Amino acid sequence: MEQEQGWADLQINALSKSFRDPKGAQVHALDGVSLSIPAGEFIVLLGPSGCGKTTLLRSIAGFEKIDSGHINLGGNRIDLLPPHKRPVNTVFQSYALFPHMSVAQNIAFGLENEKIDKNEVKARVGQVLELVKLTELADRKPSQMSGGQQQRAALARALAKKPKVLLLDEPLAALDLKLRKSMQFELKRIHRATGTTFVFVTHDQNEAMALGDRIAVFNQGKLQQVGTPFEIYTAPASEFVANFIGESTLLQGKISGQIFEGDGLRITNLNQDINANASAKLIVRPEAFTLMQGQTSCGKVEIKEVIFAGDSLEALLVTQSGHEVKVKTGASLLSQLNVGQSVELFVDVNQIGQIA
Protein backbone atom coordinates (compact mmCIF):
# COMPACT_ATOMS: atom_id res chain seq x y z
CA MET A 1 0.00 0.00 0.00
CA GLU A 2 2.84 2.30 0.90
CA GLN A 3 4.29 1.86 -2.56
CA GLU A 4 0.94 2.29 -4.24
CA GLN A 5 0.57 5.62 -2.46
CA GLY A 6 4.01 6.77 -3.49
CA TRP A 7 3.25 5.79 -7.04
CA ALA A 8 0.41 8.25 -7.35
CA ASP A 9 2.05 11.46 -6.12
CA LEU A 10 1.25 14.24 -8.56
CA GLN A 11 4.16 16.55 -9.30
CA ILE A 12 3.66 19.72 -11.27
CA ASN A 13 6.91 21.26 -12.29
CA ALA A 14 7.43 24.80 -13.56
CA LEU A 15 4.34 24.65 -15.74
CA SER A 16 3.77 27.55 -18.13
CA LYS A 17 1.08 28.11 -20.67
CA SER A 18 0.04 31.25 -22.47
CA PHE A 19 -2.78 32.05 -24.83
CA ARG A 20 -3.28 34.82 -27.32
CA ASP A 21 -6.27 36.97 -26.59
CA PRO A 22 -8.43 38.12 -29.53
CA LYS A 23 -6.24 41.21 -29.95
CA GLY A 24 -3.15 39.02 -30.24
CA ALA A 25 -1.65 39.90 -26.88
CA GLN A 26 -0.16 37.12 -24.76
CA VAL A 27 -2.08 36.02 -21.68
CA HIS A 28 -0.06 34.01 -19.19
CA ALA A 29 -2.66 31.54 -17.98
CA LEU A 30 0.00 29.56 -16.10
CA ASP A 31 3.27 31.18 -15.14
CA GLY A 32 5.87 28.79 -13.74
CA VAL A 33 3.51 26.83 -11.51
CA SER A 34 5.11 24.14 -9.32
CA LEU A 35 3.00 22.09 -6.97
CA SER A 36 3.45 18.74 -5.32
CA ILE A 37 0.32 16.81 -4.38
CA PRO A 38 0.69 13.68 -2.27
CA ALA A 39 -1.48 10.68 -3.07
CA GLY A 40 -4.89 10.71 -1.47
CA GLU A 41 -4.92 14.43 -0.76
CA PHE A 42 -7.96 16.63 -1.28
CA ILE A 43 -6.35 19.77 -2.67
CA VAL A 44 -8.33 22.83 -3.69
CA LEU A 45 -7.12 25.23 -6.36
CA LEU A 46 -8.52 28.60 -5.38
CA GLY A 47 -8.38 31.92 -7.15
CA PRO A 48 -10.44 34.57 -8.88
CA SER A 49 -12.00 33.91 -12.26
CA GLY A 50 -9.42 33.92 -15.05
CA CYS A 51 -6.42 33.13 -12.83
CA GLY A 52 -5.64 29.89 -14.67
CA LYS A 53 -7.27 27.21 -12.51
CA THR A 54 -9.09 25.57 -15.39
CA THR A 55 -5.99 25.75 -17.56
CA LEU A 56 -4.00 23.88 -14.90
CA LEU A 57 -6.69 21.22 -14.60
CA ARG A 58 -6.94 20.84 -18.37
CA SER A 59 -3.16 20.57 -18.60
CA ILE A 60 -3.20 17.69 -16.11
CA ALA A 61 -6.07 16.02 -18.00
CA GLY A 62 -4.27 16.52 -21.31
CA PHE A 63 -6.62 18.96 -23.05
CA GLU A 64 -4.13 21.84 -23.10
CA LYS A 65 -0.70 21.53 -24.61
CA ILE A 66 1.66 23.13 -22.12
CA ASP A 67 4.38 25.52 -23.29
CA SER A 68 6.99 24.35 -20.79
CA GLY A 69 7.42 22.38 -17.60
CA HIS A 70 6.31 18.84 -16.89
CA ILE A 71 3.78 16.80 -14.99
CA ASN A 72 4.69 13.57 -13.25
CA LEU A 73 2.34 11.07 -11.72
CA GLY A 74 4.09 8.69 -9.37
CA GLY A 75 7.39 9.34 -11.09
CA ASN A 76 6.04 8.78 -14.60
CA ARG A 77 5.90 11.72 -16.92
CA ILE A 78 2.31 12.10 -18.17
CA ASP A 79 2.30 15.47 -19.90
CA LEU A 80 3.24 13.91 -23.23
CA LEU A 81 0.44 11.33 -23.17
CA PRO A 82 -2.86 11.92 -24.99
CA PRO A 83 -5.85 12.45 -22.65
CA HIS A 84 -7.25 8.95 -23.05
CA LYS A 85 -3.97 7.40 -21.92
CA ARG A 86 -3.67 9.38 -18.67
CA PRO A 87 -4.79 7.70 -15.44
CA VAL A 88 -6.74 10.77 -14.39
CA ASN A 89 -10.40 11.61 -14.86
CA THR A 90 -12.34 14.83 -14.92
CA VAL A 91 -15.68 15.97 -13.56
CA PHE A 92 -16.62 18.76 -15.93
CA GLN A 93 -18.29 21.94 -14.76
CA SER A 94 -21.05 21.44 -17.33
CA TYR A 95 -21.15 17.72 -16.32
CA ALA A 96 -20.71 16.77 -20.00
CA LEU A 97 -22.92 13.70 -19.65
CA PHE A 98 -23.71 11.90 -22.89
CA PRO A 99 -27.32 12.92 -23.53
CA HIS A 100 -28.22 9.85 -25.57
CA MET A 101 -27.18 7.40 -22.87
CA SER A 102 -28.70 6.49 -19.52
CA VAL A 103 -26.73 7.11 -16.34
CA ALA A 104 -25.65 3.48 -16.22
CA GLN A 105 -24.58 3.62 -19.88
CA ASN A 106 -22.66 6.83 -19.25
CA ILE A 107 -20.73 5.11 -16.48
CA ALA A 108 -20.24 1.89 -18.42
CA PHE A 109 -18.84 3.81 -21.42
CA GLY A 110 -15.59 4.57 -19.61
CA LEU A 111 -15.19 0.98 -18.49
CA GLU A 112 -16.00 -0.49 -21.91
CA ASN A 113 -13.04 1.46 -23.25
CA GLU A 114 -10.80 -0.66 -21.04
CA LYS A 115 -11.81 -4.09 -22.33
CA ILE A 116 -13.08 -5.04 -18.91
CA ASP A 117 -15.20 -8.18 -18.71
CA LYS A 118 -18.95 -7.49 -19.02
CA ASN A 119 -19.89 -8.75 -15.57
CA GLU A 120 -17.11 -6.72 -14.00
CA VAL A 121 -18.40 -3.60 -15.80
CA LYS A 122 -21.88 -4.27 -14.45
CA ALA A 123 -20.57 -4.77 -10.94
CA ARG A 124 -18.51 -1.59 -10.99
CA VAL A 125 -21.37 0.48 -12.40
CA GLY A 126 -23.49 -0.82 -9.52
CA GLN A 127 -20.79 0.03 -6.99
CA VAL A 128 -20.29 3.64 -8.05
CA LEU A 129 -24.03 4.21 -8.41
CA GLU A 130 -24.34 3.13 -4.81
CA LEU A 131 -21.41 5.30 -3.79
CA VAL A 132 -23.11 8.42 -5.18
CA LYS A 133 -26.59 7.21 -4.18
CA LEU A 134 -28.03 7.08 -7.69
CA THR A 135 -28.94 3.40 -7.85
CA GLU A 136 -32.63 4.13 -8.40
CA LEU A 137 -31.97 6.47 -11.32
CA ALA A 138 -29.60 4.15 -13.22
CA ASP A 139 -31.85 4.02 -16.28
CA ARG A 140 -32.65 7.72 -16.47
CA LYS A 141 -31.33 9.91 -19.26
CA PRO A 142 -29.42 13.02 -18.12
CA SER A 143 -32.27 15.26 -19.32
CA GLN A 144 -34.59 13.52 -16.88
CA MET A 145 -32.51 14.41 -13.83
CA SER A 146 -32.00 17.46 -11.66
CA GLY A 147 -28.72 19.39 -11.62
CA GLY A 148 -27.62 17.75 -8.40
CA GLN A 149 -28.35 14.29 -9.75
CA GLN A 150 -26.47 15.00 -12.97
CA GLN A 151 -23.59 16.17 -10.85
CA ARG A 152 -23.54 12.84 -9.00
CA ALA A 153 -23.76 10.95 -12.28
CA ALA A 154 -20.75 12.83 -13.64
CA LEU A 155 -18.86 12.08 -10.44
CA ALA A 156 -19.78 8.39 -10.61
CA ARG A 157 -18.73 8.19 -14.25
CA ALA A 158 -15.28 9.55 -13.46
CA LEU A 159 -14.83 7.50 -10.28
CA ALA A 160 -15.80 4.25 -11.99
CA LYS A 161 -12.50 4.46 -13.87
CA LYS A 162 -10.65 4.30 -10.53
CA PRO A 163 -8.42 7.21 -11.51
CA LYS A 164 -5.19 7.97 -9.68
CA VAL A 165 -6.28 11.58 -9.63
CA LEU A 166 -9.79 12.99 -9.90
CA LEU A 167 -10.00 16.48 -11.36
CA LEU A 168 -13.07 18.56 -10.52
CA ASP A 169 -13.61 21.93 -12.22
CA GLU A 170 -16.03 24.05 -10.16
CA PRO A 171 -18.38 21.07 -10.02
CA LEU A 172 -20.78 22.68 -7.55
CA ALA A 173 -20.94 26.14 -9.12
CA ALA A 174 -24.25 25.53 -10.86
CA LEU A 175 -26.05 24.24 -7.76
CA ASP A 176 -28.07 26.31 -5.34
CA LEU A 177 -26.62 27.07 -1.93
CA LYS A 178 -28.34 24.33 0.05
CA LEU A 179 -27.56 21.64 -2.47
CA ARG A 180 -24.00 22.89 -2.71
CA LYS A 181 -23.53 22.53 1.03
CA SER A 182 -24.87 18.99 1.07
CA MET A 183 -22.74 18.06 -1.97
CA GLN A 184 -19.69 19.34 -0.10
CA PHE A 185 -20.33 16.81 2.64
CA GLU A 186 -20.95 14.14 0.00
CA LEU A 187 -17.65 14.93 -1.69
CA LYS A 188 -15.77 14.64 1.59
CA ARG A 189 -17.44 11.31 2.26
CA ILE A 190 -16.69 10.02 -1.25
CA HIS A 191 -13.11 11.22 -1.00
CA ARG A 192 -12.65 9.28 2.23
CA ALA A 193 -14.39 6.22 0.79
CA THR A 194 -12.25 6.07 -2.35
CA GLY A 195 -8.91 7.39 -1.11
CA THR A 196 -8.34 8.97 -4.54
CA THR A 197 -6.42 12.21 -4.92
CA PHE A 198 -8.94 15.02 -5.52
CA VAL A 199 -7.86 18.19 -7.29
CA PHE A 200 -10.80 20.53 -6.88
CA VAL A 201 -11.10 23.93 -8.54
CA THR A 202 -13.21 26.74 -7.11
CA HIS A 203 -13.30 30.51 -6.88
CA ASP A 204 -15.28 30.37 -3.63
CA GLN A 205 -13.04 30.68 -0.56
CA ASN A 206 -15.67 29.23 1.77
CA GLU A 207 -15.94 26.14 -0.36
CA ALA A 208 -12.15 25.87 -0.43
CA MET A 209 -11.97 26.14 3.36
CA ALA A 210 -14.71 23.56 3.81
CA LEU A 211 -13.23 20.97 1.46
CA GLY A 212 -9.48 21.20 1.19
CA ASP A 213 -6.85 19.27 3.09
CA ARG A 214 -4.71 21.96 1.53
CA ILE A 215 -5.52 25.01 -0.54
CA ALA A 216 -3.40 26.36 -3.38
CA VAL A 217 -4.18 30.02 -4.02
CA PHE A 218 -3.61 31.33 -7.55
CA ASN A 219 -3.56 34.78 -9.03
CA GLN A 220 -2.83 35.74 -12.63
CA GLY A 221 -1.33 32.37 -13.47
CA LYS A 222 0.99 32.33 -10.49
CA LEU A 223 0.80 30.15 -7.42
CA GLN A 224 0.54 32.51 -4.45
CA GLN A 225 0.49 30.20 -1.46
CA VAL A 226 -0.09 26.55 -0.59
CA GLY A 227 -1.12 25.43 2.85
CA THR A 228 -3.81 24.02 5.07
CA PRO A 229 -6.97 26.11 5.29
CA PHE A 230 -5.83 27.16 8.78
CA GLU A 231 -2.42 28.33 7.54
CA ILE A 232 -3.90 30.18 4.59
CA TYR A 233 -6.46 31.84 6.82
CA THR A 234 -4.26 32.74 9.75
CA ALA A 235 -0.99 33.42 7.97
CA PRO A 236 -1.63 34.70 4.47
CA ALA A 237 1.67 35.02 2.66
CA SER A 238 0.73 38.02 0.57
CA GLU A 239 -1.63 40.91 0.38
CA PHE A 240 -3.49 39.15 -2.39
CA VAL A 241 -4.10 36.01 -0.35
CA ALA A 242 -5.09 38.07 2.68
CA ASN A 243 -7.62 40.02 0.64
CA PHE A 244 -8.93 37.00 -1.18
CA ILE A 245 -9.41 34.87 1.93
CA GLY A 246 -11.92 36.33 4.33
CA GLU A 247 -12.39 40.03 4.87
CA SER A 248 -9.08 40.95 6.38
CA THR A 249 -8.00 44.54 6.83
CA LEU A 250 -4.65 45.63 5.50
CA LEU A 251 -2.87 48.27 7.60
CA GLN A 252 0.09 50.16 6.20
CA GLY A 253 2.42 52.24 8.32
CA LYS A 254 5.64 52.16 10.26
CA ILE A 255 6.65 49.78 13.03
CA SER A 256 9.33 50.54 15.57
CA GLY A 257 9.69 49.36 19.18
CA GLN A 258 6.79 46.94 18.64
CA ILE A 259 4.46 49.87 18.02
CA PHE A 260 2.55 50.27 14.78
CA GLU A 261 1.42 53.66 13.56
CA GLY A 262 -0.47 54.20 10.35
CA ASP A 263 -3.86 54.39 8.61
CA GLY A 264 -5.19 56.41 11.54
CA LEU A 265 -4.49 53.70 14.11
CA ARG A 266 -1.85 53.13 16.78
CA ILE A 267 -1.25 49.57 18.02
CA THR A 268 1.15 49.00 20.93
CA ASN A 269 2.57 45.78 22.41
CA LEU A 270 2.96 44.02 19.07
CA ASN A 271 4.21 40.43 19.19
CA GLN A 272 7.94 39.81 19.03
CA ASP A 273 7.66 38.11 15.62
CA ILE A 274 6.50 41.37 14.04
CA ASN A 275 9.54 43.04 12.56
CA ALA A 276 10.35 46.72 12.67
CA ASN A 277 9.86 48.31 9.27
CA ALA A 278 9.44 51.84 8.01
CA SER A 279 6.80 50.71 5.52
CA ALA A 280 5.17 47.73 7.14
CA LYS A 281 2.03 45.84 6.12
CA LEU A 282 -0.10 44.20 8.75
CA ILE A 283 -3.04 41.88 8.17
CA VAL A 284 -5.87 41.73 10.66
CA ARG A 285 -8.85 39.43 10.27
CA PRO A 286 -12.29 40.78 11.29
CA GLU A 287 -12.56 38.53 14.33
CA ALA A 288 -9.16 39.70 15.65
CA PHE A 289 -10.68 43.16 16.09
CA THR A 290 -13.32 43.77 18.71
CA LEU A 291 -15.35 46.67 20.05
CA MET A 292 -15.40 45.21 23.56
CA GLN A 293 -12.99 46.19 26.29
CA GLY A 294 -10.20 43.85 27.28
CA GLN A 295 -7.79 43.81 24.35
CA THR A 296 -5.14 46.25 23.17
CA SER A 297 -6.59 49.57 22.09
CA CYS A 298 -6.02 50.83 18.53
CA GLY A 299 -7.71 54.22 18.72
CA LYS A 300 -11.04 55.86 17.91
CA VAL A 301 -13.08 54.87 14.86
CA GLU A 302 -16.45 55.84 13.45
CA ILE A 303 -19.17 53.27 12.71
CA LYS A 304 -20.20 53.32 9.07
CA GLU A 305 -22.34 50.20 8.82
CA VAL A 306 -23.56 47.43 11.14
CA ILE A 307 -24.86 44.09 9.91
CA PHE A 308 -26.46 41.60 12.25
CA ALA A 309 -25.32 38.10 11.20
CA GLY A 310 -27.10 36.00 13.76
CA ASP A 311 -24.18 34.73 15.77
CA SER A 312 -22.16 37.92 15.42
CA LEU A 313 -22.15 41.53 14.32
CA GLU A 314 -20.23 42.64 11.28
CA ALA A 315 -19.30 46.29 11.38
CA LEU A 316 -17.61 48.50 8.84
CA LEU A 317 -15.58 51.20 10.56
CA VAL A 318 -13.60 54.20 9.37
CA THR A 319 -10.44 55.37 11.08
CA GLN A 320 -9.59 59.02 11.53
CA SER A 321 -7.49 58.90 8.35
CA GLY A 322 -10.44 57.50 6.41
CA HIS A 323 -9.18 53.90 6.23
CA GLU A 324 -11.85 51.19 6.28
CA VAL A 325 -11.68 48.41 8.88
CA LYS A 326 -13.91 45.34 9.01
CA VAL A 327 -14.80 43.98 12.42
CA LYS A 328 -16.63 40.92 13.61
CA THR A 329 -17.76 41.34 17.16
CA GLY A 330 -20.13 39.91 19.75
CA ALA A 331 -23.81 40.06 18.80
CA SER A 332 -24.66 41.34 22.28
CA LEU A 333 -23.43 44.80 21.31
CA LEU A 334 -26.20 45.25 18.73
CA SER A 335 -28.32 47.66 20.80
CA GLN A 336 -25.31 49.82 21.72
CA LEU A 337 -23.94 50.49 18.25
CA ASN A 338 -25.32 53.21 16.02
CA VAL A 339 -24.15 54.33 12.62
CA GLY A 340 -22.16 57.55 12.90
CA GLN A 341 -21.16 56.88 16.47
CA SER A 342 -17.50 57.12 17.54
CA VAL A 343 -16.18 54.07 19.41
CA GLU A 344 -12.86 52.67 20.59
CA LEU A 345 -11.39 49.78 18.55
CA PHE A 346 -9.48 46.94 20.19
CA VAL A 347 -7.36 44.16 18.72
CA ASP A 348 -5.93 40.82 19.82
CA VAL A 349 -2.23 41.39 19.07
CA ASN A 350 -1.61 37.64 18.89
CA GLN A 351 -3.76 37.47 15.77
CA ILE A 352 -1.99 40.17 13.78
CA GLY A 353 -0.07 38.93 10.77
CA GLN A 354 2.69 40.67 8.86
CA ILE A 355 3.35 40.39 5.17
CA ALA A 356 6.43 41.41 3.31
Partner 1 sequence: MKLRPITQREPGIYGPGSVALPAYVTGILLVGLPLIVVIVFSFLQRGEFGSGVIHKFTLDAYRTVFFETDLMGNQSLNFSFLKIIFRSIMLAFTVTVICLIVGIPTAIWIALQKKSTQRILIALVTIPFWVNVLARTYAWMLLLADGGLFNQIGAPVLLYTSWATFIGLTYAFLPFMVLPIYASAEKLDKSILEAAFDLGASGWRVLIRIVIPMIRFGIFAGIAIVFIPALGAYVQPSLLGGNKSMLIGSLINDQFGESRNWPVGSALAVLLLLMTALILLATRRRKLEFAS
Stretch that binds partner 1, among 23-31, 93-101, 207-215, 299-307 (CB under 8 A): 93-101
Site for ligand ADP in 165-204 (CB under 6 A): none
Other CB atoms within 10 Å distance of the CB of residue 96 = 14
- Of residues 38, 40, 69, 109, which one binds partner 1 by CB under 8 A? 109
Site for ligand ADP in 62-101 (CB under 6 A): none
Three-class SS string for 293-355? Answer: CCCEEEEEEEEEEEEECCCEEEEEEEECCCCEEEEEEEHHHHHHCCCCCEEEEEECHHHEEEE
Nearest in space to 271 (alpha carbons), one of 205, 356, 348, 156:
348
Nearest in space to 284 (alpha carbons), one of 313, 252, 254:
252
Stretch that binds partner 1, among 154-162, 206-214, 293-301, 304-312 (CB under 8 A): 154-162
Q: Is 110 in the site for partner 1 (CB under 8 A)?
A: yes
Q: Is 113 in the site for partner 1 (CB under 8 A)?
A: yes
Nearest in space to 105 (alpha carbons), one of 122, 120, 117, 86:
122
Nearer of residues 194 and 243 to ligand ADP, judged by Cβ:
243
Q: Are 159 and 151 a contacting pair, CB within 8 Å?
A: no
Nearer of residues 41 and 170 to ligand ADP, judged by Cβ:
170
Partner whose binding site includes residue 90, from ligand ADP, Mg ion, partner 1, none (CB under 5 to 8 Å by kind): partner 1
Other CB atoms within 10 Å distance of the CB of residue 312 = 18
Stretch that binds partner 1, among 60-68, 127-135, 253-261, 290-298 (CB under 8 A): 60-68
Strand pairing partners for 70?
A: 13
- Of residues 25, 84, 272, 356, which one binds partner 1 by CB under 8 A? 84
Strand pairing partners for 265?
A: 262
- The beta strand positions in 21-118, using DSSP E, are 26-37, 42-46, 68-73, 76-77, 88-91
Binding site for Mg ion (CB under 5 A): 54
Binding residues for ligand ADP (CB under 6 A): 19, 27, 29, 47, 49-55
Residues that bind partner 1 (CB under 8 A): 61-63, 82-85, 89-90, 92-94, 96-100, 109-110, 113-114, 143-144, 157-158, 161
